[in-house]
């Protein structure tokens, strides 16, 4: 269901950037489970280029039971740009949840004006995908923008509206990256390193997918996937506390 979106992202990335493979720890790049009603495959890809230090995307294909496309793009630490976050999920064709955002590293006014206000007109262009839903797992005021696309929708809207929205958000992101001035001051850069790391820690701890990974692939694999790949700069707190 979301495979055309993966293809679109790949085409954009390969056309625009000089990508290099970025290693995925052994055993995490592909996994097949036959625990559920339909066999589930989870596959991930990871790249880097001078402007973007980590580009990762994952596809879960469990046939009719689940189709999920998840991606995060982390800019190089010399840029204070938001992260690009994508989470498109369908369960049993009925429950479709789409989230697309420029995930802000900071919430101050100057940052919002620079990186979030430009999203306003895109957000307004896709009212059917911007439903102002309440968040249950995450805090909407941390690492999310007020102009995120966030919708519970139908397969028809996914098929007819989402690709245009995805393309518009991506294009604006590439434009911002193009126009960004690299930070020079080591203190400014250290602040970005910390903010991106805090994002990983927060996301690893809140990720609503953790249970889903465990149920398909087992708890141990799920923890490795979360802390060893998806949010590799996060430290598993429970594990360190136990030692
Ligand atoms: C929700 N994301 C979810 C849910 C799952 C995932 C299972 C809960 C759906 C439900 O309501 O039942 C799945 N999350 C994943 C998967 C991965 C993951 C498969 O990290 C990794 C492969 N989530 C993101 C990113 C964004 C994001 C980058 O990973 C930003 C665009 C957003 N996901 C997001 C939001 C929700 C969600 C806002 C709703 C959570 C809430 O209500 O608080």
pLDDT digit string (tens) for 105-150?
999 999 999 999 999 999 999 999 999 899 998 988 899 999 999 9
Give residue 243's pLDDT: 44
pLDDT digits (tens, 9 = 90+) for 8-28: 999 999 999 999 999 999 999
Rounded to the nearest angstrom, the distance between the alpha carbon of 21 and the centre of ligand 1 is 25
Q: What pLDDT is attached to residue 242? A: 47
Atom 1, ligand 1: residue with shortest CA distance: 208
pLDDT tens digits for range 25-71 = 999 999 999 787 778 999 999 999 999 999 999 999 999 899 999 99
Burial 80-97 (b: 16+ CB within 10 A, else e): bbbbbbbbbbbeeeeebe
Report the candidate in 81, 13, 2, 8 with the shortest Cα–Cα distance to residue 47: 13
Q: What is the pLDDT of residue 235?
A: 94
The predicted structure's pLDDT at residue 37: 75
Task: Give the tens place of pLDDT for each residue, 142-197.
Answer: 999 999 999 999 999 999 999 999 999 999 999 999 999 999 999 999 999 999 99
Substitution site in 40, 148, 209 for ligand 1 pocket (most atoms within 8 Å of beta carbon): 209
Instruction: Measure the CA–CA gap between 63 and 239, rounded to whole angstroms.
Output: 34
Residue 238: the pLDDT is 67
CB neighbour burial string for 117-145, b if at least 16 within 10 angstroms, e if fewer = eebeebbeebeebbeeeeeeeeeeeebbb
The C-alpha atoms of residue 97 and residue 103 are separated, in whole angstroms, by 17
Mutate to test the pocket of ligand 1, among 5, 85, 87, 224 (most ligand atoms within 8 A of CB): 87
For ligand 1, what atom is nearest to the CA of residue 42? 22
Q: Which residue puts its alpha carbon closest to atom 29 of ligand 1?
A: 87
SS (H, E, C) 80-113: CCCEEEEEEEEECCCEEEEEEEEECCCCCHHHHH
Rounded distance from Cα 87 to ligand 1 centre (Å): 6
Q: If you count them, how many residues does the chain have? A: 243
User: In terms of C-beta density within 10 A (0-12 exposed, 13-18 middle, 19 or more buried), how is residue 79 classed?
Assistant: buried
Q: Is the pTM of this model over 0.85?
A: yes
Q: At what angle do helices 162-179 and 3-16 cross, to 10 degrees?
A: 20
Mutate to test the pocket of ligand 1, among 208, 225, 227, 232 (most ligand atoms within 8 A of CB): 208
Q: How many Å lie between the centroid of ligand 1 and the Cα of residue 154?
A: 17
Q: Whose CA is nearest to atom 28 of ligand 1?
A: 85
Q: Find the 205 Cα to ligand 1 centroid distance in Å.
A: 12
How close is the Cα of 208 to the center of ligand 1, in Å? 6
107 Cα to the center of ligand 1, angstroms = 21
Atom 24 (ligand 1) nearest CA: 87
For position 71, what pLDDT does the model report? Answer: 98
**Neighbour-count burial of 113, counting CB atoms closer than 10 A to its CB (0-12 exposed, 13-18 middle, 19+ buried):** exposed
The tens digit of pLDDT for each residue in 66-86 reads 999 999 999 999 999 999 999
Rounded Cα–Cα distance for residues 89 and 164 (Å): 17
Ligand 1 centroid – CA 70 distance (Å): 8
Q: What is the pLDDT of residues 223-241, one digit of tens each?
A: 999 999 999 999 997 655 5
């Amino acid at each position: 269901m979301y495979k055309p979106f993966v293809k679109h992202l790949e085409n954009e990335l390969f056309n625009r950037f000089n990508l290099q493979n970025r290693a995925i720890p052994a055993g995490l790049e592909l996994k097949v489970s036959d625990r559920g009603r339909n066999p589930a495959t989870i596959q991930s890809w990871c790249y880097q280029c001078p402007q973007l230090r980590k580009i990762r995307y994952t596809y879960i294909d469990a046939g009719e039971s689940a189709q999920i496309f998840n991606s995060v793009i982390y800019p190089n630490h010399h840029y204070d740009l938001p992260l690009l976050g994508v989470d498109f999920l369908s369960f049993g064709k009925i429950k479709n949840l789409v989230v697309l955002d420029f995930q802000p590293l900071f919430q101050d006014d100057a940052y919002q004006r620079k990186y979030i206000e430009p999203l306003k007109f895109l957000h307004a262009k896709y009212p059917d995908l911007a439903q102002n839903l309440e968040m249950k797992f995450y805090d909407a005021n941390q690492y999310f923008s007020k102009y995120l696309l966030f919708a519970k929708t139908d397969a028809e809207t996914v098929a007819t509206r989402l690709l245009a929205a995805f393309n518009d958000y991506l294009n604006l992101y590439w434009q911002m990256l193009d126009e960004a001035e690299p930070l020079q001051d080591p203190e400014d850069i250290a602040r970005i390193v910390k903010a991106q790391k805090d994002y990983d820690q927060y996301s690893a701890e809140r990720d609503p997918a953790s249970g889903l990974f465990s149920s398909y692939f087992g708890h141990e694999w799920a923890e490795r996937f979360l802390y060893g790949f998806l949010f590799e700069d996060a430290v598993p707190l429970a594990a360190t506390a136990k030692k």
